[in-house]
Amino acid sequence: MSRFLEANPELLSRFAQAYLARWDTYPYQLPDGAYTRAQSIRFDGAKVYPPLTMAHVVHHLRGEQTLGAYILDANNITTRIVLDDDSEQGLDRLRELAQDFHRQGIPSYLERSSRGGHLWIHTPPLSGMEARRIGIHLLSAHHLTTKDIELYPKQNSLQPGQVGSLVRLPFGKHLKTGRIYGFIDLDGHDLAERRRDQLAIVSAPKRVSQGVIDQLLAAAPAVKQTFHLDPKEVKRYAGDVPPDVKIKRAISPYDFISQYVDLDPTGKGLCPFHDDHRYSLKVYEDGWHCFAGCEGNTIIDFYIQWKGYSSLKLASDDWKTVLLEMLKLLGL
């Protein structure tokens, strides 16, 4: 593989282009299978995130280091949608989806994983929200949700400084099993016998056409844009009521938080404040909580975390700014 990669630098850059969203920072796999974001400490003690280089990608393809691929770039744009099914029958289920997508003019590439597989769909540039809308729509046609099959990108958009969720970069050695998993075709056979030939095929992927994307977006239910305000309720508490009380009375935590996170009917969803795979976020009648330790409280605290504001003191100017933003958002 090494000499082959050296002899084919354009292939390497096509591979990187097709599967990597950003170069300013990168994640890699630890021996236990978990991923961590590469970081180092500068001489003055500051934490810095080193950039990804082509040398890292070569190490990855040689099986010397295993990289993860962030799905959203720093501007919340992606050119891929990934479905990750790690259930027992995951690979077969993804292959059925791939066959159906193929009939709809949606090319996809199916890679085995330690359990199940990853289905890569290459697209024209999409916002995180558009990619998720399409992904949720494609799943729902098969009576599946993002609880059955994980959908990447997992975030509609990133908070400042965040990188979002990642998928193992294809052909990476899974450090826990020691295996490298390849791609299979719609019939379940290896996409090509040799890994270098698979690499060549998936590095020049067929993309979903803009026409099909437009059709999918037109068919996918739009994310709710309006808040469910009960006009009577708003009126009753207008006047001398403090703004934070006004905000909390104007909208239920479920209606507010579901504008930002996909919530199931019981109020559970993926926490947007950590790399959540376990539906740690729970919304209650009077607030929310993340069981993985992101705390929680009122919708105002949710909004503060979402916007990336931190440690706001009550009555500070920042606090007032947040309240004014929310009042405006809610049309109060």
Using CB under 5 A as the binding rule, whether residue 294 contacts Zn ion is answered as yes
Residue 17 and residue 79: Cα distance in Å, rounded?
10
Measured from the CB of residue 275, what is the shortest distance to Zn ion in angstroms?
9
Using CB under 5 A as the binding rule, whether residue 306 contacts Zn ion is answered as no
Residue 224 and residue 263: Cα distance in Å, rounded?
12
Residue 70 and residue 218: Cα distance in Å, rounded?
27
Q: Are 247 and 300 in contact (CB under 8 A)?
A: yes
Residues 78-117 within binding reach of Zn ion (CB under 5 A): none
Measured from the CB of residue 132, what is the shortest distance to Zn ion in angstroms?
18
Phi (first) and psi of residue 152, to 5 degrees: -120, 140
Quickly tell me which residue has 């096509």 as its tokens.
14
Measured from the CB of residue 182, what is the shortest distance to Zn ion in angstroms?
34
Q: Are 285 and 153 in contact (CB under 8 A)?
A: no
Helix 9-19 and helix 195-202, axial crossing angle in degrees, nearest 10: 60
The residue count for binding Zn ion (CB under 5 A) is 6
Using CB under 5 A as the binding rule, whether residue 288 contacts Zn ion is answered as no
Using CB under 5 A as the binding rule, whether residue 251 contacts Zn ion is answered as no
Measured from the CB of residue 326, what is the shortest distance to Zn ion in angstroms?
21
Quickly tell me which residue has 């998928």 as its tokens.
167
Q: Which of 69, 167, 250, 290 binds Zn ion (CB under 5 A)?
A: 290
Radius of gyration of the chain (CA): 22
**Comparison of 166 and 290: residue with beta carbon closer to Zn ion:** 290
Measured from the CB of residue 308, what is the shortest distance to Zn ion in angstroms?
14
In order of 141, 184, 259, the CA distances from 92 in angstroms are 17, 11, 33
**Comparison of 120 and 273: residue with beta carbon closer to Zn ion:** 273
Phi (first) and psi of residue 97, to 5 degrees: -60, -45
Q: Are 247 and 330 in contact (CB under 8 A)?
A: yes
Residue 221 and residue 182: Cα distance in Å, rounded?
34
**Comparison of 74 and 294: residue with beta carbon closer to Zn ion:** 294
Measured from the CB of residue 84, what is the shortest distance to Zn ion in angstroms?
19
Per-residue contact track with Zn ion, 265 to 284, x per CB under 5 A? Answer: ------x-xx----------
Measured from the CB of residue 291, what is the shortest distance to Zn ion in angstroms?
8
Q: Which of 201, 292, 327, 330 binds Zn ion (CB under 5 A)?
A: 292
**Comparison of 290 and 323: residue with beta carbon closer to Zn ion:** 290
- Give the residues lining the site for Zn ion (CB under 5 A): 271, 273-274, 290, 292, 294
